Structure 1
Amino acid sequence: MDFLLEDIGYFDLTTHGLGIGDKKGVMSFAPKAEIVLCGTDEVKEILKKLDIAHTFFKKNGDRVMANETILECKSDAASLHKAWKISQNIFEYMSGIATYTNKLVKSAKAINPSISVSTTRKNFPGAKKLMLKAVMCGGGAPHRLGLYDSVLIFEQHLNFFSDKAELERGFKELKHNFIERKIAVEVDNFEQASYFASLGADILQCEKMDFELLKKCVKLKYEFPYLLLSATGGIHEKNIADFAECGVDFIVTSSPYHAKPLDIKVTIKETNR
């Protein structure tokens, strides 16, 4: 992905017009509040393309305190201004997702240290790689990368079967064809959960269930010890602990993708004065 072309275009009108492009300067980045940092790899590539001398003091996944320096760069003003805003944007958006994800993970693990927090594939098209990387920097995991990496049966799939006999044949064939894959099924009531557990589903994705219903589904693990259960639908930082208390094995959420970008202060100064 060419981040620079998107912002620079053909040239920087302002820096060129002011006649300051050849002057030497230093640029630094620091958060205005505590963050979990993400975006260093992408910013490093930008700096390398522009041949900007740089020193990173922090790496992806680091907890950075307010006003701690993340990065310092030295080059001519033309190059610094080309790198400035796109680098700031990357840090702010990716660190926002990483920091929010980390809050979710800490809240859930405070209830159940072995629980996992995963994110859906409802990411913004074209930004999946950056979003998932930020989630992982925050301690989360991808739930599904796409249709190609996991098996998850939705109601929209079930609507194509005329009766249970046909469905059960299809389910059996699916398990046989992809014997190395776990078979997950989205369910929204106990009857569905019990039925698919009896068919041999490996994972029940419990969609928008209230806490009592979710706890009832979790008890299926007594009858089917191999079974894993996830909670999904409307889960965010204010209620994730309540879902974790229900006993699910992992939590699936889209909320990190809507995290607010964080403020990263950028300072640029001339060095020869």
Structure 2
Amino acid sequence: MPAVLHDAALQALLLEDAPYGDLTTDSLGLQGLTGRVVFAARQPMTVCGSEEAVRLFQLCGAEAHVLTPTGRHVLAGTELLAAHGPAPAVLLAWKVAQALVACSSGVASEVGRIVTVLRAAGCGQALACAGPAFPGTRAWMAKAVQAGGGIMHRLGLSESLLLCPEHRLFTDEHSLDDTVGRLRKLQPQKRLVAECGAMEEALALAASGADVLQLERFTPEAVRACRLALHTSRLHPMLVVSGGVDGDSAVAYAEAGADVLVSSAPCHAPPCDVEVRFSRDV
């Protein structure tokens, strides 16, 4: 999988960490010395970010190459990437590169874990991950989700229609049919997703023509009841379940009738433990 962070974004990460240079390295006078660094997994993980980490070392003036590409499932001890060059270069890139691989691999590994649980139970539903946990992380977060076998729920406000209760608060002078109809008329190529928090709301939105119902914080039992009520009413929107979906509950939601599972759990997954081994050229 190619790098998704361009050079300017990677340079910005380096600049954030060392806006005026590496004070310790510069003070030690390490110019003229060279060394090698290897990243390795300390635990089983789904690897992500090795391509961006390699480019960070290259931007700092070192030679570097990927040993394990993004998307690979590895055991503890597997080497992920290697870099060689001037000591100031490898020391400058080290921490930023390690953090990027650790955090993105943490997300990818949690996505992979939930997908594995679903498939082991015979559930084929897609796992979609909600937006990034923190602004500015969208690109590598989307890469990590894909590396783990998931899909992104939404990539932003510009590419999908999601009608929320907060929108409807400002359109209460119009009927629900009028609101849905307006969105369909102005965006005819987009499927309309409507967020709902109760059974009655879901039925009303489906009757108004919503293509997808995003059921917020429904229990598995409530999802099953909603599916039955929609079927009885001869309404057949896609059901997306969001809120409370994680590795412990994913199968229950899938078996209750959800078509797509949306989870923010991977976005808050702890970083993976990435070992960094340095050696000095003699």
Specify the TM-score bucket, using the shorter chain as the normaliser.
over 0.9
1:232-273 CA distance string (max 9 Å, x none): 11222222222122121111111111100111000111121x
Q: 2:235 aligns with which of 224, 244, 249?
A: 224
Question: 4+ runs of 1 displaced by more than 4 Å?
Answer: none
Counterpart residue number, 1:168: 177
Using the alignment, how far apart are the partners of 2:172 and 2:248 within structure 1? Answer: 41
Using the alignment, how far apart are the partners of 1:134 and 1:210 within structure 2? Answer: 28
- Stretches of structure 1 lacking an aligned partner (at least 5 in a row): none
1:84-131 CA distance string (max 9 Å, x none): 111101011110111011111222233354301112225301112222
Matching of residues 192-271 of structure 1 within 5 Å: 192-219=201-228, 220-221=230-231, 223-225=234-236, 227-271=237-281
Quote the sequence identity (%). Answer: 30
Give the aligned residue type for 1:207: E
Matching of residues 61-140 of structure 1 within 5 Å: 61-121=71-131, 123-140=133-150
Using the alignment, how far apart are the partners of 2:197 and 2:34 within structure 1? Answer: 61
Describe the SS at the equivalent of 1:66: coil
Q: TM-score, normalised by structure 2?
A: 0.90
Q: 2:188 aligns with which of 175, 179, 190?
A: 179
Counterpart residue number, 1:37: 47
Q: Note the C-alpha offset of 1:167.
A: 2.6
Describe the SS at the equivalent of 2:256: coil
1:24-68 CA distance string (max 9 Å, x none): 211100010011011123213212212311221111111121011
Greater mean deviation of Cα atoms: 236-245 or 203-212: 236-245
Cα separation, partners in 2 of 1:240 and 1:207, compared to 1, 3 Å: same
Matching of residues 16-27 of structure 1 within 5 Å: 16-27=26-37
Give the aligned residue type for 2:226: C
Using the alignment, how far apart are the partners of 1:12 and 1:44 within structure 2? Answer: 19
Check conservation: 1:182, 1:203, Cα contact below 8 A: yes
Using the alignment, how far apart are the partners of 1:263 and 1:103 within structure 2? Answer: 16
Q: Note the C-alpha offset of 1:170.
A: 2.1
Q: TM-score, normalised by structure 1?
A: 0.93
1:137-177 CA distance string (max 9 Å, x none): 111111111111111111112222336x6331121121122
Cα separation, partners in 2 of 1:46 and 1:162, compared to 1, 3 Å: closer
Aligned length: 270
Give the aligned residue type for 2:187: F
Using the alignment, how far apart are the partners of 1:56 and 1:82 within structure 2? Answer: 18
Check conservation: 2:217, 2:242, Cα contact below 8 A: yes
Check conservation: 2:45, 2:75, Cα contact below 8 A: yes
Instruction: Calculate the aligned-residue CA RMSD, in Å.
Output: 1.7
Give the aligned residue type for 1:195: A
Greater mean deviation of Cα atoms: 10-19 or 259-268: 10-19
Give the aligned residue type for 1:178: Q
Give the aligned residue type for 2:181: K
Give the aligned residue type for 2:235: F
